[in-house]
Structure 1
């Protein structure tokens, strides 16, 4: 019996030692394991609507972070969502980044913003912030087709699995017509607040504010480097939005049409030029347009102007094709460029119809296509002799700079001033007629 008690006693002693060792290990592990420290951290905003301009900015921002040898990137996400294609490219950029990426959400990261966050190594939220509601919709606000939803759901699922998050939660954020027991009923999409996200493993931590975040990461606020978008990049983000793209093309094309009906180069032409310049500037800064695309557009405009002096319409047709090619190729996506240009062309056609209805076809095409032609059978037909207008009085219909349009004896005629600028509505007299060239001077009224 004594031998048995001895064995039991030794077994209890051994068991006690094992428990003591395990306890010591658990107590000492936190003290011996130091938290990961970061040598260089950068702060990058991901705010407003997600579009191609944001993608271009983030490519530059991550490149700058790598040049600064940053080992931590904090993405400050605050967005209602945006373009799925842009979010997909941003997600790929985050996955391929050599540094640790944290998605910090202190307000909202819905739709495409959730996808961007899921691609980060960590997600940290603040109380009151939300994420989810990632069902894709079209520009009209309707749900996308089932094929697109299925593809987007798979992308969300794959992004969730990157960091061992429950893929069904990601799918529940996308699939409206699917029921996920314990997550959401059919006919809705899932969105999560900070505490719900943490419980489901979609938020790695919840902090009160930015200061607490930096404290947890061991980062001094004054050492944090912020990479902000430049003024040009902000313009590019605005211009590359599909709605703004279409609006600029509508203004540009509409301005050309209005200018065809208005003598001289006036307000409509200036606005049109500004709209096209803004379109190309934004896409150039975003990295989508280059000098070839701009050159094609400029050449097209010049060929369209040349059509005024050359008969036949071939030069004008080539110019039109060149303009369309330049505009579409400058867009970040050919399909989107064609869609925006199509919308602009439709609205411009409506404007043209209304102007033709008001001013007649002659007001448009007589300014754009050369009407006089030379024929071997008929010979050259000279323009009508207008020498009878010499010495007659009239009024300027447009400003003369020095060219413009005047009205003499009820007739609208092109004219040039003899002494420079003359305001519209000024009384003039025809001082000289040389062929088709009519020279006028301001009429001096006798007191």
Structure 2
């Protein structure tokens, strides 16, 4: 035992810990000290903390600390804040649904969604609108930060929110539906589609207490508004430069949540920010039409490389994974059955070409099917509620991807088929075929057997027609059996090869 200070006696092990780091000693002794205090309170101060008791006490202490740390998070009111940036698609729809579920689970005072989008798919937009209307927590859609927009599908979502807010320097509107055709570009949707979208916009805005006539103009007249203009038109309730400025402005406002009046109490609410899950961010990224198409082509390349180089299995595995991801994404975007049929046919042609080379016939058919299927696969309906300029950019990127992939695949097969043709036309250099037609010199008279010289080597030879051939004459190899060559004199006009002579 060793004395450290003022008569305190400790063990050598504790002394070693103390001399290394006094802070570690405190952490080491705290559970024991707490346990001793507990034993004194229950009348058994001399019970030692050893083995399982020490482990149990550590667990109790950790749970206590976690309870103390986590309790303030769940105590009192809180405002949850998340951010959704990009096109409205299956992935961003899941982000909205997860954010609303989290806010309801936490019993949050409000959910603030910072939104920046140029639009997206109408189906996913309608699903988000339904989720907001049926949310048990007020949803605040906040177009933020400066320079952000909530165009087209974003405006629909903004009109469906319990509270609509914008940052100065942001814009909303331009919700006219469009038709995207990879062969004809971007054009306005039919009048019937416009009226249906305008009705949805008006009813959604009026249900949330906003002027339906102005909201309808977002669709019919492609109206766009800045933050101040939107506030003046009463299609948004708040203009704030930051979340910290927005939350106090919510205090005291009254909205209807599932038909029940709700008054915000955010004067002392905590602002807690969270981010969408990695899974939803990943799904949102592959839901882009160009990304989905490139995944599909990577899958195709993986399968083709696997068929051309069997036994490795890595390309096929990567190809199957990419194909599954692509089909998942295209299924959410709205896949064309005819496009898939053409692509499957193209894969079939490429596989047949890989197994039975036909000098490019099946490969050419595969390239044509690939090109047709790629354009048919473009999800034009999915971009109906997207800004025309953005839709044009998406279409341009998609067309460039199709052209590049098709050109690369064509070059691959042209190069590969060229090599095959060259290899087939090349004369063999070994075996029986390599000797047939070669010209050799008679060394020992063939009567009909004798010796000839081929490439510096002596071979036993037999005159094929039984003629006697004198030494020094040149003859042509007609065939080979074992180590014996069968030769004959060259007939007039008969082609032949002159092999290298090494002596």
TM range (shorter): 0.5 to 0.7
Equivalent pairs, count: 293
1:116 lines up with 2:157 in the alignment: yes
SS at match of 2:125: helix
SS at match of 1:224: strand
Deviation at 1:171, TM superposition (A): 2.0
Deviation at 1:238, TM superposition (A): 0.6
Structure 1 residues 345 and 241: CA distance shift in structure 2, 3 A: closer
2:191 to 146, 151, 154: 146
Deviation at 1:105, TM superposition (A): 1.6
Could you list the runs of 5+ residues in structure 1 that have no partner in the other structure? 1-37, 177-188, 290-300, 310-330, 365-385, 390-447
Matches within 5 A, 1:37-48: 39-48=77-86
Q: Matched residues in 2 for 1:362 and 1:147: separation? A: 56
Structure 1 residues 244 and 142: CA distance shift in structure 2, 3 A: farther
Number of the residue aligned with 1:94: 132
2:281 to 198, 218, 234: 234
Deviation at 1:197, TM superposition (A): 0.9
Deviation at 1:98, TM superposition (A): 1.1
2:112 to 62, 65, 74: 74
SS at match of 1:173: helix
Number of the residue aligned with 1:190: 223
Number of the residue aligned with 1:137: 178
Q: Matched residues in 2 for 1:194 and 1:39: separation? A: 29
**TM-score, normalization by structure 2:** 0.47
Could you list the runs of 5+ residues in structure 2 that have no partner in the other structure? 1-75, 252-264, 334-346, 356-376, 383-394, 422-429, 434-503
Q: Does the CA contact (< 8 Å) of 2:110 and 2:138 recur in 1? A: yes
Number of the residue aligned with 2:232: 199
1:126 lines up with 2:164 in the alignment: no
Matches within 5 A, 1:13-412: 39-106=77-144, 107-139=148-180, 140-176=185-221, 189-216=222-249, 217=251, 219=266, 223-257=270-304, 259=305, 263-264=308-309, 270=315, 273-274=317-318, 276-278=320-322, 280=324, 355-360=412-417
Structure 1 residues 80 and 348: CA distance shift in structure 2, 3 A: closer
Q: Does the CA contact (< 8 Å) of 1:110 and 1:134 recur in 2? A: yes
Larger Rg: 2
Q: Matched residues in 1 for 2:276 and 2:169: separation? A: 27
Q: Matched residues in 1 for 2:98 and 2:420: separation? A: 49
Q: Matched residues in 1 for 2:168 and 2:237: separation? A: 13
SS at match of 1:43: strand
Deviation at 1:204, TM superposition (A): 1.0
Q: Matched residues in 2 for 1:231 and 1:122: separation? A: 28
Q: Does the CA contact (< 8 Å) of 1:91 and 1:116 recur in 2? A: yes
Q: CA RMSD in A?
A: 5.0
